[in-house]
Each structure stands twice: as structure tokens, then as C-alpha cells.
Amino acid sequence: MMNGLSSQEAEERLARFGPNALPAPRHVLLWLILRQFRGIFNILLLLAAAITFALREPIDASFILFFVFVGVSLNVYQEYKSNAAVEKLKTYLVRTITVRRDGRDQEVKTDEIVPGDILKLEAGDIVPADAVVREARELLVDETTFTGESVPVAKFAAGDGEEAGEERRLLQGVVIVRGNALAEVTATGTRTRLAAIAATASGVQEESELVKGIDRISAFILKATLITLLFVILANVVIDGGDVDLPELLIFAIALAISVIPEALPLVLTFTLSRGALRFAQQDVVVKRLASVQDLGSVNLLCTDKTGTITENRLAYAGFLQALGSRYHPLLLARLAAHGLDERNPEPFDRAVEEALTPELRAEAESFQILEEEAFDPALRCNGALAERADGSRIRVRRGSPEYFAERGLLEEDGFGGWLTAEERQGHRVLGVSYDEGDGPLFAGFVSFVDRLKESTREALDEARRLNV
């Protein structure tokens, strides 16, 4: 199985399952035009134009049709151009991935992957389809797309015939943070979990608040017009009695009703929204539907993801707490236990520790030679390393969650609990470190990390408050 599919099998499965891509919506010009008449108002204007022609007022009818034509044309042009821009951007996103076929590794486009393919994944790769891990070495993945959490998750290989749980599965869209793996593709295209989520989201097709508002206005105008017509006819019948000229009265009433309709309203709205779309374009935002400009402007409650939206989605060193009697700075020990800093995409904690080292701590860390690395153990929630000084003395370092050290009775100081609680309240992530020079493990302290707010976050929040959001 690790030799992968043959080229012929891959072609057959590609024909059977289709490309590994989400179905692109077809933006047919006729459909875009018809969609402009889903609301009541444009239909009401067409009806008014028809009646005006029937009343032998071609100039007035032509003006009404002109307003409808210009408004619809601008909307269709904006949507068609925006959809074309989005589709063009997608062509730049075509990626390749290493796949094992015919017993050798080769690069293929991600949309040509089929179920049964063996993916060769390493740090920095984005998993292109749902897959089961078959071989893994220190595999950590970023599942922010699905969980919103920036802390990497460990994944393990599934044995032959073994049921693959979540810890042995890779979903389309997750990023390999550390290690490498061979994974067997189980689902592609519309059969992936990411595609199911996308289908659910795209299935929500409510009309915009602007369209709903115009429909409410149109319904009100229609009701008011009918009531007015009825009142005018009844009033003339009561006043004139049997002398009323009913055909002439109907013509007068209909003309009065048409005069009530604000023919230029759709055109004015379209021009106004087009100005808003232009301002968005200046901020590199593509507006696919003009009505969404008004919807965005009427937002009063905004729910947003934290990681990567409000924060940088990048852990940074926040502080430390050194245990009494410890010979080593916690940051130094955390650096000695950091693995894979030379990889394309280092593990977030390792990168944060490396960036936080002072020149003195960096020089001290470089005086050690790493003899042995212990991979992260998700059951114990720790990893470690065996390091040696130039004089031959050795030290075994452990780095892990506070619970790991508490379960082993290494946390004896009363001050730890209060400090940990304070860090938790600030949203910091904490790692503990210990060292063993041959006389048994000694706790050295904690290092805390924070996913910092973006520089633009405070300004954005202030702007939201100003807009009463």
C-alpha cells in the first residue's frame, strides 16, 4: 500500500470521483439579470410602465423603463465583474503536493488527488484532502480551521485494520506544523468534512436586509395605492351618483396610483451602493453583491473569531516564574527542550522561546550539545531532551503542562497556584520545566506565552464602539 496507486488507477479514480475541488458556482448572465427581479419593486415598476403605455403616455413609460434598465444594468455589471475577479483569484491558488504513485514520489496538482493516494506530508504543507495517517514522525498539526485553537495537535499512525479515530485522521485544510507523515486519502472534493461545512454555509441564502426593506416599502405602497384607488372611486360614485364616467375615473385613479411610485428609488440606491463598493475596492475588498454594502453598514452585533482575527495567531513569550533553588533559568531549559527549530515551520512554543532568548541565555544554550530528543507525548503532555556541557556533565530536561509536574509531586511551593491562576485569567498558556542532573528531577519554574492582540485590534474596537456595534 505504501507504494501508492499506479498512474492508471489514479486516472480511473479521477474519472470516477471527479477532481478534488469544490464545485464552482456558475454565474450565468441571464440568472444575474433575473435575480434583480426577485424583489417586488422592480416588478411594480414594470407594471407601472405597462399601464403607462396603455394610457398612451410613452414618454413617461420610457422614463420608468430607463430607470429600471440603468439600475438593473449597474447591479448586474457589478456582480458579474466581482464574480469574475474572484474566479481569477482562485486560479492563482492552485497548489501541488507530493504523492507516492508507481512506487515513487511525484508532484501533482491538489485537484488531481484521488481516494487511495498516499500523501507525503512535511512541516508547512496544507493537507489537501481528508486522510488517515499511516506513518508519522513527531507529527503535530494546526487545526485552527476547525477548532479556532492555535496550539498544535499531535497525530499518530493508524495500524492496518485499526479504526482511525480523530487522533489518526487529517482533515482537508489543516497545516502540518512539525514532523512528517504518510497519509492515505479517504475523501476528496465534495466528500470532505471541509466541503460539508462549506455546503452548509453556502446553503444559507437569505435575502439581504436592503432587499427586505425595499420589499416592505413596495408592499406598503401597493396597499396604500389600492386603498387610495378604492377611496377615489367610491368618493366619485357617492358625489356624482349615476353621472360618473367610470372608464375616465379608472384612468384617473390609475394615473394617480402610478404617480405615487418613486420610480427613481432603485437607481438612487444603486448609485449610492456603488459608491460604497468603490470605497471597499480601495481597501482591496471585492463586493460580490451591492446589497451587502448596506447590510454591512447596518450591523449592530458582530461575532468574530479570536485566534488570528483579533490576535496574531502567533505565540510570544510573556514571562516566567523561577522556582526557589533552581540553578537554571526556565527559559533556558525550555530552549533546550525545543525541537525542530531548523524546520520550515517550527512549533509555536519553540519559536516563541527562541525569539525570547537574551544574548546571555542564547550563549548558555549554545554551550550545550543535544544528545537525545524526546518527542512530545500527548498522554503525558510533555517532551524532553538530554543535553551535555563541554565538560561532559549532562542534564535531562522535561517540558510540559503544569498538570504533568503536579502529578509527580514536583510543585511544592504555595505561590505557584496563585501565579498560574493569574496567568490563566490573562489568557496566557503556561509550560513548566524541570531538570535532572543525576540526583532526581527538580522543578525549575514556568514559562508563559501569549497570543498577542493585533496592533489594529484596539483601533478596530474603538471604531466599532463609535459605530454603536
User: What is the full DSSP assignment across 261-311?
Assistant: S-TTHHHHHHHHHHHHHHHHHHTT---S-THHHHHHHT-------STTTTE
Alpha helices in 39-131 (DSSP H): 40-54, 58-91
CA 465 to chain centre: 24
**57 Cβ contact list (under 8 Å, min separation 6):** none
Radius of gyration of the chain (CA): 33
Backbone angles phi, psi at 360, to 5 degrees: -65, -45
Can you tell me the distance from the alpha carbon of 192 to that of 76, in angstroms, rounded to the nearest whole number? Answer: 33
What's the CA gap between 445 and 324, in Å, rounded? 9
Question: How many angstroms separate the CA atoms of 50 and 324, rounded?
Answer: 90
Reading the block at residue 144, the C-alpha cell is 485552527
Catalytic residue among 305, 350, 439, 462: 305
CA pair distance 449, 352, nearest whole angstrom: 8
CA 271, CA 273: separation in Å to the nearest integer?
6
Between the CA of residue 295 and those of 198, 334, 461, what are the distances in Å? 22, 49, 19
Buried b (16+ CB within 10 A) or exposed e, 306-320: ebeebbbbbbebbbb
To the query of whether residue 439 is one of the catalytic residues in this protein, the response is no
CA-wise closest residue to 310 among 147, 148, 143, 151: 148
Angle between helices 58-91 and 265-282 (to 10 degrees): 20
Q: Which residue has the cell 420610457?
A: 62
Task: Give me the phi and psi of 314, to 5 degrees please.
Answer: -150, 115
Q: Pairing between strand 394-400 and 442-453?
A: unpaired
Question: Which secondary-structure segment (H or E) carries 255?
Answer: helix 246-260
Would you give the end-to-end CA distance of the chain in angstroms?
55
Residues designated as active site: 305
